[in-house]
Structure 1
């Protein structure tokens, strides 16, 4: 079976990479006010150039900027939307095991729109240094804005603009339609929506907690799929858009558990993305049975963990791929780490060498399985 020449690829990546020590040092200096934004950008540019060369040298078919310009995988993008503000928080609305990121959250303060978003420039720089290699852009899913502001927030009160919740869903979708067009016009042909809402909705304890607050997750899930599908109506035919589903990833910790069965029929059976990147590196993700709801999408199996440096046994990973092929044809399957290596600027607990060892391992297994 030949390798895929269209994204997602047999050996693919989620997006983020460990920040180099020098970039961390510069970002800390910027945070203390010791240097200006020009010096920070210069350091980010150099680190991204070096990362792209490493990605190409490693044989990846699509490269990312490692999310090197971000503090968080999601807040930086969402806070730059029109009508959205980032605000300090006493604690995160979700609890990671053992460690916690610097707390922050979002508020909807006006009409949600895409506006003159800085991430378009981030992609343009990535493309300028990629030398013709396909560039993958990662952004939080449309559902993340609603989840953070309206579901996790126990004291959510809609502004007058959004007394009718259907208007908020439409405006978020409209903002993402503009985002898709803007990235496409900048040359992006591979876009990924990162989404922890579905991982959260898989968790039985979290489902019970939301039900006790009077929230009907099945109805919210249907609204999320409809909102994402409305956003995808702007997708040109020669653009691939995938979704990465995660159960939390901060300093090698997590915040959700539970198999995909709770969301599979609504999500896999109805969402129009071109592929799903699915976390499958631990027992917390459950079995492959929910994949029976997959239609014609590619399924990228996250069987290589990005949380810990120990390398997986090749035979075990190949056996897991065979098990998944009992529910989705092998030609629809691919392989990746279950998440990025640095969902926040702090990064997971491993070295850069161990990170690249993981990439080499997944490529070797993909070559053995698919040729």
Structure 2
């Protein structure tokens, strides 16, 4: 009997790969405002080919950049959108713009990875069939994206957005959903066929400590979970049949310490479609 795999690989790499010391040092410099983003990007570009080669050599199909362009899983999306700016220790009243996708978020990342797995050769492929595998690797290249619910889970309705900009969660997520759909659409047009949302949100709903805290705060946790699921379903509505999408959820790992615990049974039947 033929083995059916969806996604089309038996095993895949989910999280980040270890950063080389040169990249770690450069990121510290960048975060300490001692170098430019362009300086950091040069080291990222120099480091990523090695992790791609490692994945190819061990037979991993879902090739990523090892998340070497991110210091943490939640970086990349939100700070790139128009209307959002990273400003430490600043009140929400300083942010006045609506969320919009003014440029690609992970599109250049995909182009860079695509260039590493596609070989430019002058020999006709029928004369060198072994090279075909490299071309086929493009459809497995996976782009990890921070989940759309992460900021709202962390900060709640009160602190996720400025009330002079958005009057409700519905308004806020309407623009965020549009931005995510635009990003996914452009990635698809560029040839991306594998997207992974990094979102520990759902694992938190498995923790009794969080459920208790939400109840004490007067928050309908079942309604909140339903809203988060609906956000994903709206982002992915009408997605092409050959676009593989996964959600990476976990209980956290901060220097070996988990953030939450509990059975996945609470959310198993409610996952996004």
TM-score (norm 2): 0.83
Residues 255, 12 of structure 1: alpha-carbon distance in 2 compared, 3 angstrom cutoff: same
The Cα of 1:168 is off from its aligned counterpart by 2.0
The reply to whether residue 112 of structure 1 matches residue 116 of structure 2 is no
Larger RCO: 1 or 2 (CA < 8 Å, sep 6+): 1
Distance 1:157 1:5 in 2: 41
Instruction: Describe the SS at the equivalent of 1:82.
Output: coil
Give the whole-Å Cα distance in 2 for the aligned partners of 1:4 and 1:20: 37
Q: Distance in 1 between matches of 2:228 and 2:195?
A: 18
| Partner Cα distance (1:37, 1:213) in 2 | 40
Tell me if structure 1 keeps the 8 A contact 2:105–2:183. Answer: no
**Runs of 5+ consecutive residues of structure 1 not aligned to the other structure:** 91-104, 273-371
Question: Alignment partner for residue 248 of structure 2, among 241, 244, 249?
Answer: 244
Q: Is the 8 A contact 1:172 1:227 kept in 2?
A: no
Report the equivalent of 2:63. Answer: 63
Whether the aligned pair in 1 keeps the contact of 2:204 and 2:210 (CA below 8 Å) is yes
Q: CA deviation at 1:32?
A: 4.2
Residue equivalent to 1:97:
none
Query: Which moves more between the two structures, 194-203 or 2-11?
Result: 2-11
Is the partner of 1:88 in helix, strand or coil?
coil
Structure 2 counterpart of 1:146, from 152, 155, 159: 152
State the match for 2:125 in structure 1: none
Distance change (3 Å), C-alpha of 1:213 and 1:81: same
- Residue deviations 1:202-236 (CA, integer Å, cap 9, x gap): 10011111111111110011111111111102522
Alpha-carbon spacing, 1:45–1:181, altered in 2? closer, same or farther (3 Å): same
Contact 1:111-1:161 within 8 A present in 2 as well: yes
CA distance in 2, matches of 1:108, 1:219: 28
In the other structure, the counterpart of 1:321 is: none
SS at match of 2:26: helix
* Cα distance in 2 for residues equivalent to 1:232 and 1:266: 16
CA contact (8 A) 2:166 2:172 kept: yes
> Matched residue of 1:209: which SS?
helix
Aligned counterpart, 1:82: 82
CA distance in 1, matches of 2:240, 2:34: 44
CA distance in 2: counterparts of 1:25 and 1:156, whole angstroms: 32
Counterparts of 1:57-206 in structure 2, within 5 Å, are 57-88=57-88, 109-131=96-118, 132=135, 133=137, 134-150=140-156, 158-206=162-210
Deviation sequence 1:17-73 (CA, Å, 0-9, x none): 111112112222334455443332221111101110000001011200011111111
Shift of 1:161: 3.6
In the TM superposition, residue 120 of structure 1 has moved relative to its aligned partner by 1.4
Matched position secondary structure for 1:138: strand
| TM-aligned CA deviation for residue 86 of structure 1 | 2.8
Match of 2:86, SS? strand
* Structure 1 CA distance for aligned equivalents of residues 187 and 156 of structure 2: 27
User: Residues 203 and 251 of structure 2 are in contact (CA less than 8 Å); yes or no, is this contact kept in structure 1?
Assistant: yes
Name the structure with the higher strand share.
1
- Which stretch has the larger CA shift, 221-230 or 155-164? 155-164
Partners of 1:41 and 1:78 lie apart in 2 by 19
Shift of 1:265: 3.0
Residue 339 of structure 1 corresponds to which residue in structure 2? Answer: none
Could you tell me whether the CA contact under 8 Å between 2:76 and 2:146 is conserved in 1?
no
Count, aligned residues: 252
CA 147–22 in structure 1, closer or farther in 2 if over 3 Å, else same: same
Tell me, in whole angstroms, the C-alpha distance in 2 between the residues paired with 1:87 and 1:159: 18
Q: CA deviation at 1:10?
A: 1.5
Write the distance in 2 (CA, Å) between the matches of 1:256 and 1:79: 26
